[in-house]
Copies of this chain bind each other. A is one copy, B any other.
Amino acid sequence: MSQRLFSVGFARHFSRCVVASKPRASAARAAAMSTPNPRPSNPQLSFPCLEKLEQRSQSLVENGPEPAYAKITEDKVDIFRSTDPIFLDYGGYLPQFQVAYETWGTLNSNRSNAILLQTGLSASSHAHSTAKNPAKGWWENFIGPGKYLDTDKYFVICTNVIGGCFGSTGPSSTDPSDGQVYATRFPIISVNDMVRAQHRLVKQHFKIDRLHAVMGSSMGGMQCLAYAHEFTDEVAKVVSISGCARSHPYSIAMRHCQRQVLMTDPNWNKGFYYGSLPPHTGMKLAREIATITYRSGPEWESRFGVERADPSKQPALCPDFLIETYLDHAGEKWCLEYDPNSFLYISKAMDLFDMSLSARTKAARSRQQTEARYNGEYVPDSELEYKPVDQCSFDEPMRENKRTRRMTPEEAAEDLKRGLAKLAAKEVLVIGVESDILFPAWQQREMADLLRQGARERGGDGSNIRHVELSKEDSFYGHDTFLLALDHIGGPVSDFLEN
């Protein structure tokens, strides 16, 4: 080829960082031709986004990790302690546990006005400011005197789920059996396990025999179904917002990627990072992927389009488009705010959520067997719903990828209908959002349809099951609608709670 060399203009165009002086074109060309260390055709790209991650690691090493969640104490929240063990759906147990909770409003004398508010994956019990903690809560404008969740009428209880990191027992807690942090010796938990822990607070601490309502959004929408199923006679009304009756493979796929990204951060160290450098990069990336599922393409089209943050600069592999800087910011905000192990366990619990009769029956049987073994009763392996776990030889992922589902979609729908039948006599409000890609609107339609079928099979007319779907015009905020479009969610909710 003709080995043409850079003109100074071209060289300067690309090499501002390394070329301090500006010799004239002919001089530069001559210099380049005689140089023993030829210059590359183009400059090295820069990666400020990676340098920032390194700086954070350095700073955490020097100043020590101080995760925000570690600061949650009884100064800020109330704590319910259960000294009896809890046996879990998937064969594990907690010898004791605590649940962080907050309340708003006043429990009436016959204890009939309580609403248990259940949270999404990353939320604390701090749904609204309290005397102990005046910071705004995640549903600050939804809860309060005269608000949609009217504390002049209702006594609202919100907990941090077990498995979480905001005061409830989770992977960052100490295992009382050996005095060490649980880390990934924490047992796999289910949404059902979360609600059975809440139930002890409701029954043992507050002595409430029947809740006016259980309600929640996202994973909270899963919990309220699980609670009403497990404690059918102790719940009057159920409000499931942007929830589902079982996860679907797209959501599992997205959460799978988040978990894998976190677990492959070398700092995750198979879950044993407490007191050392936390996997902040993995957490940041996991949150970025999650954020994609929390909002929607139409919102981003409207806010960001496909514009670059600074179109006058050369494109970069680090965040460059407006949408990238948005995701980057979402990851930054979260990477030290939430315990990575809690994220893994609770994300997994969402995947495992399944209101099908077969899943509920299996879980109940598994817990009973675990408890029997705990109490020294002999349960032969052959009778265990779950075969004894041989963790050392867990299956390799199927290499040939030929395995497919065993139950047909029709059988699975019937199974789900039978599981939901226990709820079909309740007052249920199901809210879905058309722009939601994580818990898509068809899942709420399916839930409402199956509940109505169940109601009719019990001789009812199905009018106890209400279903509201927010159109794209009502909200294009996707899954996060319940945090953003309060009026569209709140109207149907307060109406349902009162009538």
Contacts and interface: CB of A to CB of B under 8 A. Distances in A.
Interface of A: 1-4, 6-7, 9-10, 12-14, 16-17, 25-26, 29, 37-50, 52-53, 83-85, 90-96, 175-180, 182, 184-188, 246-250, 252-254, 256-257, 259-261, 263-266, 270-271, 281, 285, 288-289, 292, 296-297, 300-307, 309-310, 312-319, 321-329, 332, 344, 348, 351-352, 354, 370, 372-379, 384, 386-392, 394-399, 401, 403-407, 409, 412, 440
Contacts of A256: 288, 319, 321, 323-324, 327
A6 B285 contact: no
B253 A303 contact: no
Given A285-B257, A373-B10, A317 B263 contact: yes
Copies in the complex: 2
Contacts of A392: 16-17, 46
Given A285-B264, A309-B395, A389 B13 contact: yes
B391 A250 contact: no
30 contacts: A1-B96, A3-B177, A4-B374, A9-B373, A9-B379, A13-B370, A16-B392, A40-B180, A40-B185, A41-B176, A46-B394, A47-B184, A50-B264, A188-B314, A247-B306, A248-B300, A252-B306, A252-B323, A252-B324, A264-B281, A302-B409, A303-B405, A306-B354, A312-B387, A313-B390, A316-B394, A318-B397, A322-B405, A325-B401, A329-B399
Contacts of A6: 374
Contacts of A184: 44-45, 47, 317
* 4 nearest A-B residue pairs (beta carbon): A1-B83, A249-B300, A250-B297, A9-B373
Nearest to A1: B83
Contact residues of A: prevailing secondary structure: loop
A305 B305 CA distance: 34
Given A9-B377, A53-B264, A84 B325 contact: no
B44 A297 contact: no
B4 A85 contact: yes
Given A309-B403, A321-B252, A388-B12, A261 B261 contact: yes
B46 A391 contact: yes
A12 B327 CA distance: 45
B185 A394 contact: no
A92 B14 contact: yes
